């Protein structure tokens, strides 16, 4: 067997992520998708790339400056990674531009136009001009840049115009100026129905009104990206909330890491900008399409063109949650599981709302990582605290890009009298658990919700996740201990049935992988997650493969494991599913473990297994375990949305062979849930007895 420390056995994390985002971009090119669905994927691609530059590229630049030699099992240096990333993205830019042009051209045949001001007919130019003077001119500020006017501060991801001007009375007097486009203004201005124009093309038309007495020689739209990673010295923080608020303010002033600019930009303008921005020329991207296409969501959501979008799936409430009864009665009868977003998130909300109102409920404890801006769950916790119940909320203030929202909710919960924990020094709390303690027959009974996803009703409509409700005695002591660890002081405490990181989850995973090796070719592992990076776990999988264990991995995003290597990973297959919904659930199957099925909040990455509080939950109920196993097998048979990772590092899109049935796992689950919903409604209408639960096969 090869040396498992050999760097050639591992893919680079950053380059693997880039390939994931390319699979997202590919969705925008699929002619069988509705046009606004394709436009949506362009927006997702661009938003993903923004975050990648703000965090990952910024981090690599810091590692390079600090002279780190390598930072992963692949042993690529920060500089090597930066160079390959830049080459990859500059090469992919043409695909992005072509996709945008193709989609917008086809949209125009349906009466939806994304244009520039000069493309408008005369009557609409007049309408646009009126909009400019009424809504834009009063709020924009002309910014001169010279010896007495300093270069202005630029917010992260802000859109601006750089301008080269000439004094109308002195052709030798050349000046440079800027106009910042405030974020409160729309990126695409909606004129008559179906016609949008880019805001910069409208502002550009009236520059000489903004700078009277000057002629415009050249203009360019540009957008800057800053380092947005917040570094908090937690051990030195007397007031963590105040330290975090300072960090959020500093985020706006992070180092510049990328410049996006219009194609064929005047070189003097570019030189003027970079005199102040000082961005590596390889991090300057010239685009022939509008900048900041992540804002295309505004057009995607235009209801007048909903016929150009995918028909929405309405999440259904299935048995046992389809009756108007207390959620605690339901959980008393049986363990229950929801497959989001195919099934409704409402029972999760109802779980907390019922607890807030139930006079028998004494205590509610839960973790909050990313919650919505108008969260009914947090409002229910506030109501519970106001009702005199003991409410404990672990609000993770370090949830990246949700810090400000979480700060607001943390303060609101505190004001209501809840006990709020902001985090654990040195760790993030990423576990998804809600615990309700309720009086039942003069005893205290514990009800739990354990999940792979966040308590966020918005993302619950587009992320695939597992919600598990239970009152099993096996989890009682563990759930109490877990919250005691979060709220108090604890050293080296472990749980019995639930598995927790950073103390024990990795150890448990490695042990279960090792145990499958005893069964050689009869060994079987299936694991579904977002990312696989941890080198210890990868080595364990390599060893299991070499013993003959059959391993299937469903990894949506980053995968550093290299499948199909002779003598190392011949028995490992890796697929990635990219479709209408973001695959987010973590499900692990170890055939010869007892139990064999687990759900988790954690990916198999060092940060999840060693630097975060996470939970892995065994599924004891056989029917629910079979349901999860069927879900895994369904996705393994997907030949529409699945991409298969090759030993070379390339991903090949699976296609149904001639004569085979096309299997789109996401579409299958929509249809499956709709069918169950209709059946349950029919039974309810006829008072027919409930049939024995069927598991989809």
Q: What is the pLDDT of residues 591-645, one digit of tens each?
A: 999 999 999 999 999 999 999 999 999 999 999 999 999 999 999 999 999 999 9
| Biggest CA-to-CA distance, the chain | 91
584 is catalytic: no
Give one DSSP letter per residue of 505-571, joined into a string. HHHHHHHHHHHHHTTGGG-EEEEEES-B--HHHHHHHHHHHHTT-EEEEEESS-B-B-TT-TTTTTT
Percent of the chain with pLDDT over 70: 94
Active-site option among 90, 307, 430, 441: 430
Separation of alpha carbons 149 and 550, rounded Å = 67
How much is the pLDDT for 635? 98
Domain boundaries, the chain: 33-308, 327-497, 499-666
Q: What is the pLDDT of residues 522-559, one digit of tens each?
A: 999 999 999 999 999 999 999 999 999 999 999 999 99
Separation of alpha carbons 231 and 247, rounded Å = 7
Backbone angles phi, psi at 264, to 5 degrees: 60, 35
Closest listed residue to residue 64, CA positions, set 50, 52, 47, 81: 81
Separation of alpha carbons 647 and 655, rounded Å = 19
pTM of the predicted model as reported, rounded to 2 decimal places = 0.93
Q: What is the pLDDT of residues 5-46, one digit of tens each?
A: 999 999 999 999 999 999 999 999 999 999 999 999 999 999
Evaluate whether 33-308 and 499-666 have a shared fold: no
Q: What is the pLDDT of residues 339-394, one digit of tens each?
A: 999 999 999 999 999 999 999 999 999 999 888 788 999 999 999 999 999 999 98
Mean pLDDT score across all residues of the chain: 91
Closest listed residue to residue 559, CA positions, set 582, 577, 543: 577
451: which strand partners? 467
Mean pLDDT of 503-510: 96
Note the CATH number of domain 499-666: 3.30.870.10
Any idea which fold 327-497 has?
Endonuclease; Chain A (3.30.870)
CATH superfamily of 33-308: Polyphosphate kinase middle domain (3.30.1840.10)
Q: Taking a C-beta distance cutoff of 8 angstroms, is the pair 498, 475 a contact?
A: yes
Instruction: Examine residue 595 and say whether the peptide bond preceding it is cis (omega within 30 degrees of 0).
Output: yes
């Amino acid at each position: 067997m090869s040396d498992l420390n050999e760097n050639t056995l591992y893919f680079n994390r950053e380059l693997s992520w880039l390939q994931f985002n390319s699979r997202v971009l590919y969705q925008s090119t699929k002619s069988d998708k509705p046009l606004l669905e394709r436009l949506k994927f362009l927006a997702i691609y661009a938003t993903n790339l923004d975050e990648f530059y703000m965090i990952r590229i910024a981090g690599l630049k810091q590692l390079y400056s600090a002279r780190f030699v390598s930072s992963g099992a692949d042993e690529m240096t920060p500089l090597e990674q930066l160079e390959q990333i830049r080459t990859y993205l500059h090469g992919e830019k043409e695909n992005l531009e072509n996709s945008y042009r193709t989609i917008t051209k086809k949209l125009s045949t349906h009466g939806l136009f994304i244009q520039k001001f000069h493309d408008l007919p005369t009557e609409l130019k007049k309408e646009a001009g009126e909009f400019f003077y009424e809504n834009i001119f009063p709020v924009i500020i002309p910014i001169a840049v010279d010896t007495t006017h300093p270069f202005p501060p630029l917010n992260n991801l802000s859109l601006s115009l750089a301008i080269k001007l000439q004094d109308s009375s002195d052709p030798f007097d050349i000046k440079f100026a800027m106009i910042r486009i405030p974020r409160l203004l729309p990126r695409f201005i909606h004129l008559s129905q179906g016609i949008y124009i880019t805001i910069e093309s409208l502002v550009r038309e009236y520059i000489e009104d903004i700078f009277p007495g000057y002629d415009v020689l050249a203009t360019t739209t540009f957008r800057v990206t800053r380092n947005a990673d917040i570094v908090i010295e937690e051990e030195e923080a007397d007031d963590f909330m105040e330290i975090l608020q300072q960090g959020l303010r500093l985020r706006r002033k992070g180092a510049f890491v990328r410049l996006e600019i219009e194609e064929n930009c005047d070189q003097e303008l570019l030189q003027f900008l970079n005199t102040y921005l000082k961005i590596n020329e390889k991090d300057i991207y010239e685009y022939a399409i509008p900048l900041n296409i992540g804002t295309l969501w505004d057009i995607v959501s235009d209801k007048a063109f909903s016929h150009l979008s995918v028909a929405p799936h309405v999440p259904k409430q299935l048995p046992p949650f389809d009756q108007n009864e207390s959620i605690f009665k339901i959980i008393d009868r049986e363990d229950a599981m929801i497959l989001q977003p195919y099934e409704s998130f409402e029972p999760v909300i109802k779980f907390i709302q019922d607890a807030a109102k139930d006079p028998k409920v004494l205590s509610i404890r839960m973790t909050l990582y990313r919650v919505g801006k108008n969260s009914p769950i947090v409002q229910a916790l506030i109501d519970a605290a106001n009702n005199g119940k003991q409410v404990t909320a672990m609000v993770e203030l370090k949830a990246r890009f949700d810090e400000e929202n979480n700060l607001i909710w943390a303060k609101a919960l505190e004001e209501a009298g809840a006990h709020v924990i902001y985090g654990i020094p040195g760790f993030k709390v990423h576990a998804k658990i809600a615990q309700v303690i309720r009086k039942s027959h003069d005893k205290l009974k514990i009800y739990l919700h354990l999940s792979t996803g966040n308590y966020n009703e918005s993302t619950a409509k587009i992320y695939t996740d597992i919600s598990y409700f239970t009152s099993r005695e096996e989890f009682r002591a563990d759930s109490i201990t877990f919250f005691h660890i979060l709220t108090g002081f604890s050293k080296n405490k472990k749980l019995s049935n639930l598995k927790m990181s950073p103390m024990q989850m990795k150890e448990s995973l490695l042990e279960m992988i090792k145990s499958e090796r005893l069964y050689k070719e009869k060994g079987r592992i299936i694991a579904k997650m977002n990312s696989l990076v941890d080198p210890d776990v990868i080595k364990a999988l390599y060893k299991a493969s070499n013993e003959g264990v059959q391993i299937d991995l469903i990894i949506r995003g980053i995968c550093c494991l290299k499948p199909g290597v002779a003598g190392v990973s011949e028995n490992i297959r890796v697929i990635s599913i990219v479709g209408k919904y973001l695959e987010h659930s973590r499900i692990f199957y170890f055939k010869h473990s007892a139990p064999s099925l687990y759900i988790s909040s954690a990916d198999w990455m060092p940060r999840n297994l060693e630097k975060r509080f996470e939970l892995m939950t065994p599924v004891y109920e056989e029917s629910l375990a079979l349901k999860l196993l069927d879900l895994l097998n369904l996705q393994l048979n997907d030949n529409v949305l699945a991409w298969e990772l090759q030993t070379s590092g390339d991903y090949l899109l699976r296609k149904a062979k001639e004569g085979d049935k096309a299997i789109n796992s996401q579409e299958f689950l929509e249809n499956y849930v709709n069918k169950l919903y209709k059946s349950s409604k029919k039974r309810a209408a006829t008072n027919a007895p409930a049939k024995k639960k069927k598991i989809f096969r």
